[in-house]
Amino acid sequence: MKNNATKQMVYFSVILLLILIFSFASALSIGAAPLSFSQVFDSVFGLSNDQSSYISSIVWDLRMPRSLLAFVAGCGLALAGLILQKVTRNPLADPYLFGISSGASLGVVALMSVTSLGFGFYLSIGAFVGSLLAVVMLLVIAGHYGPRQVENMLLAGVALSFLFSAFTSLMLYWSDPQAVTSIMFWTLGSFARADWQTLWIPTTVVSICLVFMFLHQRQLTALLLGDESATTLGINVSRLRINMLLLSSLLTASIVALCGGIGFVGLMIPHIVRYFVTNGSRFSFFVTAFVGGIFMLWVDIGSRIILTNQELPIGIITSAIGSVFFLSLLYLRKRKALD
């Protein structure tokens, strides 16, 4: 039985890797200046000649950092959603619904409005402060030591999301009118500002968090059994939950600082992965991250081709897909309860 499960996991991993390679190749070839797969291959592996140097410029200077940022953002948001769903035992948990994404956006907008800083390391700090504020308020409102802490977290998160969004809108209202347009476009989500200088920030954070989650896989799985069961296994539930919430806020902040507000990814991807990998599998974190990255690559492709000569904000696409997914999930759960 165990050997069959291992073989299935190997086959699934190979298929996932092939889909990832095809998705990256498509992301590098599709755009305002369409390229063939052969042109992309020659440019990536340094086989292009001097006459096609402009192709290398398109691939390496524009599309490669953008595609990598899209992949890393998808990985991070999917992992953040998986963390929240595990520590709250709520399948509807998501950084966007918990107010963490809105808190990070408020931190970035406040810093940009006051200091007029460009996108970079300092905005990541502002995003982390905003997301950390959201986590602290979430714990306080939900009642950290209350018996219904987990149940109250989602309600408190939705309330905080609206609260931080209101403050963000107020900051935009007071900002310089010339800066409002660019900030508004950023808050809707975009990978247009991707570059090699800032790509290391979310990549490092996502990699470290992925390793940390893998090392604490057993504790997180035990947490799904309930706080009492996890405590009897010797797990400090309160400390683990707080550490994981901080981890989720760090993931969300590093992505929001560069990409803006992108919702529903953390809600959808863990649900999709559960159809193929059990929640307690030690590979669930890696599969969730890869599927999230692949999904975001195709969302980025869609944002570039849906409108002619325009780029559609990423957040609009993910919100549209996420809302349909959310309603479908509720409908299926209702039908299952009636059956």
Q: Return the pLDDT at 120.
A: 60
Start-to-end CA span in the chain (Å): 31
> Is the CB of residue 139 less than 8 Å from the CB of residue 100?
no
Q: What pLDDT, on a 0 to 100 scale, did the predictor assign at position 75? A: 96
pLDDT at residue 1 greater than cutoff 60: no
Q: Rounded distance, CA 262 to CA 73, Å? A: 9
Nearest by Cα to 330 from 291, 322, 78, 84: 322
Interior/surface letters 308-330, b for 16+ CB within 10 angstroms, e for the rest: eeebbbbbebbbebbeebbeeee
Counted domains in the chain: 1
**pTM (two decimals):** 0.90
| Average pLDDT over every residue of 152-167 | 86
Residue 296 structural domain? 2-338
Res. 50 pLDDT band, cuts 50 70 90: low
Residue showing tokens 């919100």: 319
Does pLDDT of 74 surpass 60?
yes
pLDDT beyond 90 at 128 = no
Query: For all residues of the chain together, what is the average pLDDT?
Result: 85
- Bigger pLDDT: 113 or 256? 256
Confidence (pLDDT) at 149: 63
Domain of residue 215, CATH code: 1.10.3470.10
In the chain, at which residue ranges do the beta strands (DSSP E only) sit? Answer: none
Report CA-CA distances (Å) from 54 to 29, 39, 58, 334.
Answer: 13, 11, 6, 54
Cβ atoms 320, 263 nearer than 8 A: no
Helix (H, G, I), strand (E, B) or coil at 225: coil
